[in-house]
Homo-oligomer: A and B are copies of this chain.
Amino acid sequence: MTDIICTHPVLATAASSVVAPVVPARGRLRPLGIDEVRIADGFWGDRQRVNGANTLAHIESKLESEGWLRNFDLAAADRLPEGRRGREFSDSEVYKYLEALAWEIGRTDDASLEARFRAIVARVAAAQEADGYLNTRFGRPGQAPRWSDLEWGHELYCLGHLFQAAVARARTRPGADDGLLELAMRAADLVCREFGTAGRDAICGHAEVEVGLAELGRLTGEQRFVDQAGLFVERHGRHTLADIEFGRSYYQDDVPVRDAETLRGHAVRANYLSSAAVDVAVENGDDALLDALRRQWRRTVERRTYVTGGQGSHHQDEAFGDDWELPSDRAYSETCAGIGSIMFSWRLLLADGDPRYADLIERTLFNVVATSPAPDGRAFYYANTLHQRVPAQPADPDATSPRAHSSLRAPWFDVSCCPPNVARTFASLAAYLATADDEGVQVHQYAAASVRTTLPDGTVAAFDVSTAYPAEGRVRVTIREDGEWTLGLRIPEWADGATVRFGDEQAAEAIPGTVSLHRAFQAGDVIELDLPLAPRVIAPDPRIDAVRGCLVVERGPEVLALESVDFGADVAEAVIDSAPEPTETDGQVRVRIANRETGVASDVVLIPYHEWAQRGPSTMRVWIPTS
């Protein structure tokens, strides 16, 4: 297998017709859209199915019962502000839901979803003002004036989500006559007029409009939208927002993006802003900015990211802590911050092709995003603690939880950003699995899937992936059409001892990184990747005070957890050997754990972290003390 090489393919060209959330004009890798990658059954396929079958209807029912959709009707009827319900950013949940619907319609062609989509777009459109302004909380008689509370008002933030929804719709249903793209562009034009170089020198307290504008610019070819995104990005750190209790770092207005050393402040804001900054840097060929973002990503991953991939150590301000400040029991690790981190990493992956970005995406997908929803897709974690000290009480299935920080999967929250964020991510997940360049296709995430794309020279790369990953480590790629091209497979950083085998050839060891296989493939050819899933024991960096003297066990991409249900006692009493030897039988991992109180040691089951709290109230810990 001398043709397995570990260098990266050269610059890929972008295709404007790609059906994906992020379609840069340039970059090392071109995303494959949801029409080119289709997820089959399996870990992620199941979640996509539950998302489509349960979560979307659940969200719409909540948007109605909470009055957040009705706010648009009241606006259209000139009856605001009386009767308006929800927080200042509630419009954005409607837009995120529209985005999720758009991807799901693109994925499934479901006619009833299409009708629901159009009905909501019509209600939103009716609320738009003549000059393009659209927000149910500001600007009408009796409401605060437009743009009067940039720190907390979230007006531009909401529009950013509107733009992403419009992009999703335009890419999945080009030329649709629902009017969403047009209303988004009217709003975007207003933003450019109000906040352009001749307008207010200001930013929104929650980054998001930047990433929406950049993608709208990419979609439409309107450079002014990208430029406006760039203006907003560059204005961060210029102290145009007030100094607040949490400091200007909360909304990344403390230090200019290109001068910062690390992500900081509110973890969702930080990741959304960083994502937009990559977009702007890529579109403008701004290598200095891109390099600053690469450095910030590295430092953030090294020092401010949980073993789960989660980000954000503070409940108070939903923010990153200082370097090495990663408490398990007060981990915030907001679901939306995990999604934001995937957005940031994905953009860097497209720009650079470096598989370590995909490594973090995998870690975050399995251990943050997959942890949030309950198996039925109708309850969610907002924060994802790594250590539950007190058994959580079951959530009232009919109530809206005021406690975003609770360790409950709750059906809805007063601040309910996470459920629709999970929904849009699952609905578009196929667009994050694989990429292409001039030479071939790269598979970054392993899921049962079908892939078919046409390379720039007309070569068709088509194959199926079959795997029970992450339960099993065997990934089988079956070529479906003849063609000479290069298949790239990511070897995860943890996969020490992975092997790749082409047909009957001898298996070759593949070191972590990317393994590339150039062949004149024939339909029916099989490539087998074997990822070693033996449980691994990880010790923390000694500078992380919160988990000193503790170990964590991982299996494949999954972080494992000790739950009191399996331990038979409060996990506060658990002590693991200092050199434990976890064993695995039929995918179930056990490790020797002693009870500090009783002194009795036994082999205890560790479950995937994302499965915790599904068997009643329990205590749980990811990091287990050695003594």
Known: A402-B243, A542-B625. A321 touches B316 (CB 8 A): no
Quick one: which of A382-437 are within 8 Å of B by CB? 387, 389-390, 402-405, 414
Determine if A289 is an interface residue (Cβ-Cβ < 8 Å).
no
Q: Which of B314, B402, B546, B549 contacts A245 (CB 8 A)?
A: B402
A577 CB to closest chain B CB (Å) equals 15
Number of A residues, CB within 8 Å of B? 38
Determine the distance from Cα of A316 to Cα of B332 in the docked complex, in whole angstroms: 11
A5 CB to closest chain B CB (Å) equals 38
Q: Which residues of B contact A402 (CB under 8 A)?
A: 243-245
Interface string of A362-388 (1 = CB under 8 A from B): 000000000000000000000000010
Quick one: which of A513-565 are within 8 Å of B by CB? 542-543, 545-550
User: CB distance A625 to B545 under 8 Å?
Assistant: yes
User: CB distance A625 to B548 under 8 Å?
Assistant: yes
- Closest residue on chain B to residue A322 by CB atoms: B389
- Closest residue on chain B to residue A547 by CB atoms: B545
User: CB distance A545 to B546 under 8 Å?
Assistant: yes
Q: Which residues of B contact A387 (CB under 8 A)?
A: 545
- Closest residue on chain B to residue A550 by CB atoms: B548
Interface string of A586-627 (1 = CB under 8 A from B): 000000000010000000000000000000000000000101
Determine if A329 is an interface residue (Cβ-Cβ < 8 Å).
yes
User: CB distance A403 to B247 under 8 Å?
Assistant: yes
Q: Which residues of B contact A244 (CB under 8 A)?
A: 402
- Closest residue on chain B to residue A404 by CB atoms: B245
Known: A245-B402, A542-B625, A542-B627. A325 touches B314 (CB 8 A): no
User: CB distance A572 to B625 under 8 Å?
Assistant: no
For this chain, the copies found in one complex come to 2
User: CB distance A245 to B414 under 8 Å?
Assistant: yes
Determine if A147 is an interface residue (Cβ-Cβ < 8 Å).
no
Q: Which of B315, B321, B405, B546 contacts A546 (CB 8 A)?
A: B546
- Closest residue on chain B to residue A315 by CB atoms: B316
Known: A245-B402, A405-B316, A545-B387. A330 touches B327 (CB 8 A): yes
User: CB distance A542 to B596 under 8 Å?
Assistant: yes
- Closest residue on chain B to residue A390 by CB atoms: B322
Determine if A324 is an interface residue (Cβ-Cβ < 8 Å).
yes
Q: Which of B316, B324, B389, B627 contacts A325 (CB 8 A)?
A: B389
Determine if A328 is an interface residue (Cβ-Cβ < 8 Å).
yes
- Closest residue on chain B to residue A401 by CB atoms: B245
Give 11 CB contacts A-B under 8 Å: A245-B403, A245-B404, A245-B414, A246-B403, A314-B316, A321-B329, A322-B389, A323-B389, A327-B327, A330-B330, A545-B546
Residues of A within 8 A of B (CB): 243-247, 313-316, 321-325, 327-330, 387, 389-390, 402-405, 414, 542-543, 545-550, 572, 596, 625, 627
